[in-house]
Structure 1
Amino acid sequence: MDDSFSESEIYCNQLMRRRRGFPLYVPSPPENLPIEYQKHGVAIGDVGSITPEGIFDFYFNIYLPADHPINDNDVPENFYPLIPYASKSLTSLVYDPGDSVSTSSVFPGGDFVFTCAAPQGAVLALPHGAHLKKLKNLEVERQYVAAHAESWYKHINGTGGRGLQNGSLYLVTGCEKAYSWGMASFYSTRDEFQLKFSRTPKANSSNRYRWRGVQGCRDPSQHKNYDPYPINDAPLNQTTFIHGLSISLGVGIWGKLFGTKVGIREIVESRLGGGDGYGNMSRTPGSSFFSWSLGLLGGGGFTGKSYAGENGNVVLSGFPPVVKVWLSVTFVAPVLRRPFIDISSCGDNQ
């Protein structure tokens, strides 16, 4: 990567390396969504996409009825909710206050002082810790997605007019949330510099955390923070990482719905984000960085388990830890005898 990439691209690309999930550059729920949604933010069962700004773009939740205030009757044709999961089906994990997530180019010190090395890196500071909830078994969800993926794309791209690329639709199966956070990312030619995320004692501030410059050190990073006051009254609606399934329709199904023109791309990589960097790779025209990178993480082109979809096979692929060469060749006219839907895990090793 280089300095031509946006803040959100650099941040998400860098922290994906930590395998803690897919990092959202905008953890706050959008203000245009229902109040009920804003109270809790991203939830397990949400179907959505990721915008170029690093926002999770919510469409509907598969566990809620169509007339629920969160779904607001904006659901695909013939939609019916999936039976909610039991609490024992969840993996729950609490990260202690003072936790941080950073790339290997960032070296944490005491009291959120980070020493950063060129050329690029990112860090997420969590003053009040974080809470992770993730589904243990996804078999029921996979079967449900396989049966309805076509109608989802048809609704979102047709009625909704979103124009999603194939493979850029996701079902959330886990999310990590925090009460407060500080994000920083950088691309710099400097050998080393320091970042500091510390308390700022002021009246009625309860020692709120802010990014502060280190004396005598130029700060080339892009950073932001969220630390509401009082913290005890803040809702747990800031989503820092998500886990889920990326959903792709087979060429035949996609061509039937939206036409047959698709892209051709070749990716040669030794490891995610390594090698010559993304600046020398080609992306499918019109696709976002996030759909491209999540497609890579999702394991498109790798072997997986087959499911029976509505109009053909469903291929479920895991998350490959190392990607060497991925050649994706698609056709102007579909020639597959058995179209498939590809549902790939993103954000972890499920």
Structure 2
Amino acid sequence: MEDPISNLTHESIFTAQSPAHMFQNATRFGIEGSQFMNVLGNMNIHHLAPPSAGKSLAAAGNALDVSRDVYTDSGSYCSQLLRRGRGFPLYVPGPQRNLPREYQRNGVAIGDVGRVTPEGIFDFFFNIYLDADDPINVDNVPEGFCPLKRYVSRDVVYLDFEPGNHVSTPSVQKRDLESSSGDLPGLNFTFDCNAPEGAVLALPHGSHLEKLENMEHMRRYAAKNAESWYKYINGERGRGLSNGALYLVTGFEKSQSWGMAAFQEVTTQTEFLLSFKPTAADRYRWTASGPATTKASGPIPIHGEPLNQTLFIHGLSISLGTGIWGRLFKSVEICQIVDSQLGRPSNQFLPYASQGFLSSWSLGFLGGGGKQGGKQCAGRSEDPNGVDIFHPSQVINNYLLAKFASVTVAMSHDDDWRDILRRMPSICCSKYAIST
């Protein structure tokens, strides 16, 4: 099978160009350990050595109050666990029943192209590593689709979390675990919950993580095909994705059993208990002494069956340049979030995959405390109320497209914002305002 990016020579992909030349007109701007991609014509990836400590991207944009203060259950849960560093949370872990049986058997996989719906579902479209006529893709692929050569297993990190693991906000504290009674394996959980809001994911049987570390070929492939993907998904598949809502999976965390709970707007000083324990029907059940919304997995699967309950995903959020977006969909859906005093570079280069370049502006742009956070704009939403689950990568992509007007594709990975959000005192919001 021909590699669809094999015609790109090493010389055409990797070039040498100084940061000063690339950003000769930029002001109040710095980079830490970033990479730069030019996807106009030939694709060029520029690897830059980290500069001296203390240089970072300057604060950008003024805060905009979010117009809503009421969260859906999925928005409350996902936004609160977003900051815990395990990936992007899914509120509906199981695969949809309208997908092929082969897909339902294993659920989310590395290389899946999809979106996260307002309900917290991963909406699968196709996998970039499988042939068009594969039982999972079943010819539901863009025109001219050619799969990417599959990654090698040595580039994948595998990690198992022990039984009794949990992920929660600081407002939810676990008491000592207790062994379950009866024949059902697993553990009993009891949590102390404190106002005003919180969320927890309980994993009686632990979980399994797989994450692709070498994403270079995937990035180039996505840059080359992003336009055709959006055209297919918003056209033939009729999803009406906002710019940046397209997601390419690079990793996942799955489990046999799980329990989710979230609460919000609880009266100050209120404390209550949540317990998650097995029942006689081979499943777990929540009990709560306070106002929490809870969910639990179904019967525990037979040992040895594939895991298809996906709790967290890792991946690239992909946006098209405003010019291409406008040509395809006759609209421009990107907010101007950059300070007008910031200069624009003369070259068409786009930063992505940076571990540090967002740190200095994250508090002012992504957060700021509580439910009235920074400005987040991501184009139209399929939600008729104009709101959606907050995804930091879309915010980052919007910033990049507003700052670098000539680029054709912007990509950011969940790892780019993970550590920033973990350091923030509170998440900015579970939903964001929509620009039209």
Match of 2:72 in 1: 6
Match of 1:106 among 172, 189, 210: 172
Report if the CA contact (8 A) 2:319-2:397 is conserved. no
Match of 1:322 in 2: none
Match of 1:320 in 2: none
Match of 2:363 among 235, 258, 270: 270
**Counterpart of 1:74 in 2: which secondary structure?**
coil
Which deviates more from structure 2 when the two are superposed, residues 226-235 or residues 55-64? 226-235
TM, length-normalised to structure 1? 0.82
**Counterpart of 1:14 in 2: which secondary structure?**
helix
Higher strand share: 1
Match of 2:278 in 1: 199
- In structure 2, how many angstroms separate the alpha carbons of the residues matched to 1:248 and 1:230? 38
**Counterpart of 1:198 in 2: which secondary structure?**
strand
**Counterpart of 1:177 in 2: which secondary structure?**
strand
Report if the CA contact (8 A) 1:103-1:122 is conserved. yes
Match of 1:88 in 2: 154
TM, length-normalised to structure 2? 0.66
Q: Which amino acid aligns with 1:171?
A: L
* 1:266 Cα offset (Å): 5.1
Identity, % of aligned positions: 52
Match of 1:56 in 2: 122
Report if the CA contact (8 A) 1:41-1:239 is conserved. yes
- In structure 1, how many angstroms separate the alpha carbons of the residues matched to 2:110 and 2:78? 20
Report if the CA contact (8 A) 2:211-2:252 is conserved. yes
Match of 2:408 in 1: 340
- In structure 2, how many angstroms separate the alpha carbons of the residues matched to 1:236 and 1:27? 11
How do 1:174-323 residues align onto structure 2 when only pairs under 5 Å count? Answer: 174-187=251-264, 188-191=266-269, 192-200=271-279, 202=280, 205-206=281-282, 208-213=283-288, 218-232=289-303, 234-264=305-335, 270=363, 274-278=368-372, 283=377, 286-287=380-381, 288-290=387-389, 292-296=391-395, 298=396, 300-301=398-399
Match of 2:215 among 125, 129, 138: 138
- In structure 2, how many angstroms separate the alpha carbons of the residues matched to 1:81 and 1:284? 29
- In structure 2, how many angstroms separate the alpha carbons of the residues matched to 1:237 and 1:130? 11
Report if the CA contact (8 A) 2:244-2:397 is conserved. no
- In structure 2, how many angstroms separate the alpha carbons of the residues matched to 1:295 and 1:101? 24
Is 1:78 equivalent to 2:144 in the alignment? yes
Report if the CA contact (8 A) 1:300-1:344 is conserved. no
- In structure 2, how many angstroms separate the alpha carbons of the residues matched to 1:265 and 1:221? 38
Match of 1:309 in 2: none
**Counterpart of 1:290 in 2: which secondary structure?**
coil
**Counterpart of 1:48 in 2: which secondary structure?**
strand
Q: Which amino acid aligns with 1:341?
A: V
* 1:265 Cα offset (Å): 6.1
Report if the CA contact (8 A) 2:378-2:398 is conserved. no
Is 1:156 equivalent to 2:249 in the alignment? no
Give the alignment's Cα RMSD to 1 decimal. 2.6
- In structure 2, how many angstroms separate the alpha carbons of the residues matched to 1:273 and 1:223? 27
**Counterpart of 1:232 in 2: which secondary structure?**
coil
Deviation string for 1:213-255 (max 9, x for gaps)?
3xxxx32000010042454265300000000000000011111
* 1:342 Cα offset (Å): 0.3
Match of 1:325 in 2: none
* 1:77 Cα offset (Å): 0.9
Report if the CA contact (8 A) 1:40-1:235 is conserved. yes
Q: Which ranges in structure 2 are unaligned for 5 or more consecutive residues?
A: 1-65, 178-188, 339-360, 382-386, 419-436
Report if the CA contact (8 A) 2:337-2:399 is conserved. no
* 1:264 Cα offset (Å): 2.9
- In structure 1, how many angstroms separate the alpha carbons of the residues matched to 2:92 and 2:197? 20
Q: Which ranges in structure 1 are unaligned for 5 or more consecutive residues?
A: 303-314, 316-327, 331-335
**Counterpart of 1:13 in 2: which secondary structure?**
helix
- In structure 2, how many angstroms separate the alpha carbons of the residues matched to 1:342 and 1:281? 19
Q: 1:62 to 1:161 in 2, by over 3 A?
A: same
- In structure 2, how many angstroms separate the alpha carbons of the residues matched to 1:228 and 1:143? 41
**Counterpart of 1:17 in 2: which secondary structure?**
helix
* 1:108 Cα offset (Å): 1.1
- The structure with more radius of gyration: 2
- In structure 2, how many angstroms separate the alpha carbons of the residues matched to 1:209 and 1:110? 18
Q: Which amino acid aligns with 1:270?
A: L
Q: Which amino acid aligns with 2:198?
A: G
- In structure 2, how many angstroms separate the alpha carbons of the residues matched to 1:266 and 1:147? 26
Q: 1:116 to 1:231 in 2, by over 3 A?
A: farther
